Chain A
Amino acid sequence: MDIAINDAERARTMPLEDFDVSDVSLYQREALHPYFERLRKEAPVHYCKASLYGPYWSITKFHDIVAIDTNHKQFSSDHTNGSFVLDDTTLNAVEGGISMPNFLGMDQPVHDVHRMAVSPIVAPANLLRFENLIRSRTKDLFDSLPIGETFNWVDQVSIPLTTMMLATLLDFPFADRAKLTRWSDVVTTRPGYGLVDTWEQRTAELMECLGYFQNLWDERQKLPPKADLISMLAHSPAMQGMTPTDFLGMLVLLIVGGNDTTRSSMSGSAMAAHLFPDEFAKAKADPSLLASIVPEVIRWQTPISHMRRTAIEDVEFRGQQIKKGDKVVMWYLSGNRDEEVIDRPQDFIVDRPRARHHLSFGFGIHRCLGNRLAELQIKVLWEEMLKRYSRIEVVGEPLRVPSNLIHGYVEMQVRLHA
């Protein structure tokens, strides 16, 4: 990591044709924003000719992203046309990757059938049931945290809380829940970023995941239906023909979709509290601000940096000729900093008007299924934080996830002030 590079200067002077905002090192040092700012101003629909993932288009302005996200007739998510993430190896059987199709990577009509099979998990009645559980877990966890000592917030807060939630959604054996965290991380990585050494190792771990869940499926299919995701799948008439590959794909969506993202929002919450202590104090004085704090922190963090589509025909978009087969990347991270739509976008503002108007959950038919559940977890986290602490201090530089997809932290040392 070369933090000596002056990114602001580089972003200003580098020829636009040399821009590659998918470069993972930019995410490791959180240096994206000056590059995105220049793209939004000078090349909002930008073509990168060569990258680790081949050529791709970058869409960086808020309204352009909404236009692509809602135009699923021309911009496909389907795994048969490409992928919904820039890196094809994450979900498709190319290079060393394996095929893990799921409904975020499916167009209509199959998308709708699969989505409806699992959507009851986040129905209002279930959310109500989850709230008490989330509250008691969050309280217990905070009660055990030291005041005035330095500890890793990611390991002590974000991972335990989100992993417990995921274990509940899947009714996964609680003692084994660390496996979920591991599988979640393994899905979105490639060899060489510190998590797995080879493609074979990645495949082997994902197969272990599949095997584990196949046992749970067999068990649940023999029992009466109940309100967990595995039981829902095992009893859904629409899902009976699922192959092991389809099953793994669905699992991966539910595990990564519900885990890394909420984890990043929780870590981002500590960072926002640290960087904007006056806003934290304002929130502490007026808890009614939670209605805007929750969406604001999810916007400010933007846990998923991008989603990608594939053009299935030639399209002229904002004066650019996008060709059939081209990869089109919607940079939510950039759209959520679009100064034409969001006032003072770099700042975390607890009483931001219209805070819900952000891109972090996407829009259109693939809009995040778990958004209410994620918001519920973040709401409870903030309620308990505001009750207990006057300040959350981040100590030193955090370590960030080496990824252009998962925008989060591996390690963040914090100190809590009573």
Chain B
Amino acid sequence: MPKIIYITSTGTEHAVDADSGSSAMQTAVQHRIPGIDGDCGGVAACGTCHVWVDQNWLDKIGPARPGIEQEMLALTDGATPFSRLACQIELDDSHDGLVLRMPTDQH
């Protein structure tokens, strides 16, 4: 059970235990973490689970993938090379300690 740390735009930290095999979006929604909506259910089609990943973690999980994830992020306010859609990050034990920062608002 990897521990995932979500940090809201105002700096509040939410550390939760994730189930291996679920995504970082599902985990947030399951634990009712404010700031991640996941309207499309996990197919990178709405851009409402935008997170920023720290550099050291980005090296491990990789940047946004070509195709719909990159295309949606291109239309998202505040997206940077550190941006991912949380629904596209599938979690397992190797993600223990992953830090994800959230924007003020999801669009």
Q: What residues of chain A have their CB less than 8 Å away from a CB belonging to chain B? A: 66, 69-70, 108, 112, 115-116, 119, 122-124, 127, 354, 356-357, 361, 363-365, 367, 371-372
Q: Is B21 in the interface zone, CB < 8 Å from A?
A: no
Docked complex Cα distance between A122 and B72 (Å): 17
Q: Is the interface of B mostly helix, strand, loop or mixed?
A: loop
Return the contact of B40 from the options A119, A363, A372 (Cβ within 8 A): A363
Beta-carbon nearest neighbor of B29 in chain A: A354
B46 and A367 within 8 A (CB)? yes
B54-107, CB < 8 A from A: 68, 71-72, 74-75, 77, 104-105, 107
Q: A108-B71, A365-B71, A365-B75 are in contact. Are A357 and B107 (CB under 8 A)?
A: no
A365 and B107 within 8 A (CB)? no
Q: A112-B74, A115-B75 are in contact. Are A70 and B107 (CB under 8 A)?
A: no
A116 and B105 within 8 A (CB)? no
Interface size class on chain B is: 10 to 19
Q: A364-B68, A372-B107 are in contact. Are A119 and B41 (CB under 8 A)?
A: no
Docked complex Cα distance between A417 and B72 (Å): 45
Q: Which of B37, B47, B104, B105 has the most CB of A within 10 A?
A: B105
Beta-carbon nearest neighbor of A62 in chain B: B41
Docked complex Cα distance between A112 and B73 (Å): 11
Q: A356-B37, A356-B39 are in contact. Are A66 and B71 (CB under 8 A)?
A: no
> What are 26 inter-chain pairs, A to B, with CB distance below 8 A?
A66-B40, A66-B43, A66-B45, A69-B45, A70-B43, A70-B44, A112-B74, A112-B75, A115-B75, A123-B77, A124-B104, A124-B105, A356-B37, A356-B38, A356-B39, A357-B41, A363-B40, A363-B43, A363-B45, A364-B45, A364-B68, A364-B72, A365-B72, A367-B45, A367-B47, A372-B105
* Chain A contacts for B47, CB-based, 8 A: 367
Q: What residues of chain B have their CB less than 8 Å away from a CB belonging to chain A? A: 37-41, 43-47, 68, 71-72, 74-75, 77, 104-105, 107
* Chain B contacts for A354, CB-based, 8 A: 41
Docked complex Cα distance between A364 and B44 (Å): 8
CB distance from B69 to the nearest CB of A (A): 11
CB distance from A363 to the nearest CB of B (A): 4
Beta-carbon nearest neighbor of B72 in chain A: A365
Docked complex Cα distance between A69 and B46 (Å): 11
Q: Which of B41, B68, B74, B107 has the most CB of A within 10 A?
A: B107
Q: A357-B39, A371-B107 are in contact. Are A363 and B46 (CB under 8 A)?
A: yes
Docked complex Cα distance between A367 and B71 (Å): 12
Beta-carbon nearest neighbor of A120 in chain B: B77
* Chain A contacts for B38, CB-based, 8 A: 356
Q: Can you add 15 more A-B contacts, CB < 8 Å, to A112-B75, A124-B105, A356-B39?
A: A66-B40, A70-B43, A70-B45, A108-B71, A115-B75, A119-B77, A123-B77, A124-B104, A356-B37, A361-B39, A363-B45, A364-B71, A364-B72, A365-B72, A371-B107
Q: Give 9 closest A-B pairs by Cβ, nearest first.
A: A363-B45, A124-B105, A356-B39, A70-B45, A124-B104, A357-B41, A364-B45, A363-B40, A70-B68
Docked complex Cα distance between A218 and B46 (Å): 36
CB distance from B1 to the nearest CB of A (A): 23
CB distance from B31 to the nearest CB of A (A): 15
CB distance from B23 to the nearest CB of A (A): 15
CB distance from A405 to the nearest CB of B (A): 22
* Chain B contacts for A122, CB-based, 8 A: 107
Docked complex Cα distance between A138 and B68 (Å): 38
* Chain B contacts for A115, CB-based, 8 A: 75
B75 and A116 within 8 A (CB)? yes
Beta-carbon nearest neighbor of A355 in chain B: B39
CB distance from B106 to the nearest CB of A (A): 9
A357 and B40 within 8 A (CB)? yes
CB distance from A289 to the nearest CB of B (A): 15
Docked complex Cα distance between A122 and B44 (Å): 21
Beta-carbon nearest neighbor of A366 in chain B: B75
